[in-house]
Amino acid sequence: MSIKILLLEDDQLFAETLIDLLEDYGYAITHSPNGQNALDMTFEIKFDLYLLDINVPLIDGMTLLKELREANDLTPAIFLTSHKNKEVLKNSFLIGGDDYITKPFDTEELLLRIDALLRRTRQDTTECIGLLCHDKIHQRILYDKIELELSKKEYELLLLLMQHANNAVPKELIVNELWTPSRPGSEGAIRVYINRIKQLLPQIEIQNIRGIGYRLVS
């Protein structure tokens, strides 16, 4: 699965150069020329990294990231900036930036910074059981680096099984975690979700512990 990068850059020629460079390295790039469009894109696509110019139309890059961080979006971000003012660069970290690189920059350095940030972020935000991994930032589960198409309940149930891997998860706990008293769950509903997960993950063993619940075997 390609790593998805949002590129906020209003210089079209420079943006095209970066897109060509990054796509050659296998990244999937979504380009936005202004901050408002970039903000809209974050609601539609789960990105792995933000590359943000600061001085762009409508919403500047720093304001954009500040709004995203206030909305609990922890996607790693690198500022691409011509600013050399220390106060501006300091503020880029204070509002939630992870790194910055000043223009003009060496493309090799940019690639190295991207790779280092993604590796560091993944170590902090991804928990794996073999090939089955939970991406905590984007709230998704992947198998062998491919995102699983899960409903909200399927995601919550599989995550619960992963958190208790190799231990039986009682049906009562599943009902309490996935449903509310006003919208109660049932054993039949649990079976439906378990069967759906088994269809998506035939490589993973999920045992039915008779009279108790279910266990994911790692």
pLDDT at 65: 95
pLDDT at 23: 93
Nearest to 132 by CA among 54, 216, 199, 73: 216
Question: By three-state DSSP, how is residue 167 classified?
Answer: coil
Domain boundaries, the chain: 4-125, 148-217
User: Terminus-to-terminus CA distance in the chain, angstroms?
Assistant: 23
CATH fold of the domain at 148-217: Arc Repressor Mutant, subunit A (1.10.10)
pLDDT at 123: 59
pLDDT at 122: 67
pLDDT at 41: 94
**CA-CA-CA-CA torsion sign (202, 204, 205, 206):** negative
Nearest to 136 by CA among 84, 51, 74, 184: 74
Look up the pTM and report it: 0.59
CB 99 within 8 A of CB 117: yes
Can you tell me the distance from the alpha carbon of 142 to that of 1, in angstroms, rounded to the nearest whole number? 10
**CA-CA-CA-CA torsion sign (23, 25, 28, 34):** negative
**Superfamily of domain 4-125, CATH level 4:** Response regulator (3.40.50.2300)
Q: Average pLDDT per run of 10 along the chain, which is 218 residues long?
A: 88 93 92 95 91 93 93 90 78 88 87 88 74 83 90 94 94 92 88 95 94 93
